[in-house]
Amino acid sequence: MFKSKISIVTFIAVIIALIITLLYEFDIATFNNEFMMVVRWTVGALLIANALHRKNLTTWILTSMVLGIFIGVDFPNFAAALQPLSSGFIKLVKTIVGPILFATLVYGIAGHSDLKQVGRMAWKSMLYFFCATTCAIFIGLAAINITKAGVGIDIANMPQEELPTITKNNTILESLPEHVHGVYKFTSFFKDLFPENIVKSIYENQVLQIVVFSVLFGIGLALVEEKKRKPLVDFTESLSETMFKFTNLIMYFAPIGVGAAMAYTVGHLGVDILKNLFMLLGTLYLALTFFLLLVLLPIALYLKIPVKRFIMAIKEPVSIAFATTSSDAALPKAMSAMEKFGVPRKIVSFVIPTGYSFNLDGTSLYLSLASIFVAQAAGIDLSFGEQLIIAFTLMITSKGVAAVPRASLIILIATADQFGLPVFVIAAILGIDELMDMARTSVNVVGNCLATVVIAKWEGEFDEAAPYRD
């Protein structure tokens, strides 16, 4: 009861503070700076009290985001000094890339030892996953190119030494006729897919090379006899679970990293940066809505899936995913809901876990959108061809994103590294990443639940007579 009162008081205070701020910003009413500071920090104190009573990571992240804004507005020099905390958080996240991609991909492929039995279901699932995530990626590219949410951000004062320095040997390219330059660049891209040394690839955060190695290793392991395969499969399962826990531990540092990122961003660039960030947020929500209405809904209608009952079936796992920003947290409910909806257990148990590595529609859309946002913010004009290469890369790298909170940040940083985009701009996105993660994780769950019904229909095993009953 006391927690409920704290939440109500905090909500009312935030609404009042928002009204006062809007009146002040639009010159409808005049308030002095001291009064506005008192309003901000009164709300800040209430938010901290609410977070202390809720003891919830999501609440703390949102609270830290708001406090970061307040620190950036009122104490810009102090806010600028917090930048290393944000950079430290990004470095910590980077350590997850190699182990988590290797473990999830190898276990996802080799964990189903009887390839003949699951072969047909596997290729159908992969075909559907590829089509769905490709649509999501291109919708994300279209949305960010239309809204241009990153254009106009002043990053002149950002620490330029953070920019990745990428040197490439163009000697061979210069010796070739111009009409074959495109062919050389295309084949060079494929050459760079293959790791020279997997340890070196992990050290250098070469995500594509890690993915290619892991997929080939997983297929090779699946072809090994059961007795010799089992120890490695068990190892990758244990490593995968350990990395999930490791990521969750890192996320306890997220409120500090997010708060510092927002404080530094606002303090260094001014509060006007928030306009671009919330434009990015609006672009993402709009793009995800279009994906649901233009891709997933037509699929459901074409296959004559009872949409209303499907929504009733997935409402609980989706709400869990939205609140926790974790697809993994919604996994048990999603699987049981789809079984009740009429999908056989053997299909549910294969499609949903596999989809959590290969069919993250919301995350794929976000990655394409956020990658171009980073380029726009840095003033890098990417051609349509360059954007297609990034999209092609994301089609592969997004397949290894783990179903844990904010794991897409790992792929975004790695993609920015690979294409020479400034990683420091991602620090600004951290400030609203929690709000974006809620939406994209929810769409991930919706997409994977629908995938089970699609495969069941395709296999002719969907039980029409057993629709979901709440």
Q: Which of 105-109, 369-373, 434-438, 447-451 has the highest mean pLDDT?
A: 447-451
Confidence of residue 274 (pLDDT cuts 50, 70, 90): low
Confidence of residue 358 (pLDDT cuts 50, 70, 90): confident
Confidence of residue 455 (pLDDT cuts 50, 70, 90): very high
The average pLDDT across 47-59 equals: 78
- Largest interatomic CA distance in the chain: 77
Contact predicate 307/467, CB 8 Å: no
Q: What percent of the chain has pLDDT over 70?
A: 77
Closest CA to 424 of 91, 140, 137: 91
pLDDT tens digits for range 197-223: 888 888 776 766 787 788 788 888 888
Give the Cα-Cα-Cα angle 281, 282, 286 (nearest 5 degrees). Answer: 120
Cβ neighbours of 244 (radius 10 Å)? 20
pLDDT tens digits for range 55-101: 777 678 778 878 888 888 888 888 888 888 877 877 777 777 678 77
pLDDT at 291: 96
Q: What percent of the chain has pLDDT over 90?
A: 12
Confidence of residue 468 (pLDDT cuts 50, 70, 90): low
pLDDT tens digits for range 143-199: 999 988 877 665 555 444 343 333 444 566 667 776 666 677 667 767 777 888 888
φ/ψ (deg, to 5) at 332: -60, -45
Count the helix, strand and coil residues of the chain and give each as a percent rounded to the nearest 5: 80, 0, 20
Q: What is the mean pLDDT of the chain?
A: 77
pLDDT at 161: 38
Confidence of residue 132 (pLDDT cuts 50, 70, 90): very high
* CA dist 321 → 103, 306, 359, 369 (Å): 23, 22, 15, 21
Q: Output the six-digit token pair for 86.
A: 């944000």
The average pLDDT across 276-294 equals: 89
pLDDT at 256: 85
When mean pLDDT is compared across 68-82, 286-300, 399-413, 440-454, the lowest value belongs to: 399-413
The domains of the chain, with CATH numbers, are 2-83 (no CATH), 89-459 (1.10.3860.10)
pLDDT at 285: 93
pLDDT exceeds cutoff 80 at 142: yes
Contact predicate 310/341, CB 8 Å: yes
Selected residue with higher pLDDT from 320 and 242? 242
pLDDT at 167: 40
Q: Which residues lie closer than 8 Å to 150 by C-beta, 6 or more apart?
A: 144, 276, 280, 372, 373, 374, 375, 376, 377
Confidence of residue 431 (pLDDT cuts 50, 70, 90): low
pLDDT at 453: 94
Does residue 333 sit in helix, strand or coil?
helix
For the question of whether the overall pTM of this predicted structure is more than 0.75, the answer is no
What does the CA dihedral 434, 439, 444, 445 come to, rounded to 10 degrees? 100
pLDDT exceeds cutoff 90 at 295: yes
Count Cα neighbours of 47 within 13 Å in the Cβ-side half-sphere: 21
Q: Which amino acid is at 137?
A: I
Confidence of residue 3 (pLDDT cuts 50, 70, 90): low
Cα–Cα dist 150/153, whole Å: 6
The average pLDDT across 6-16 equals: 72
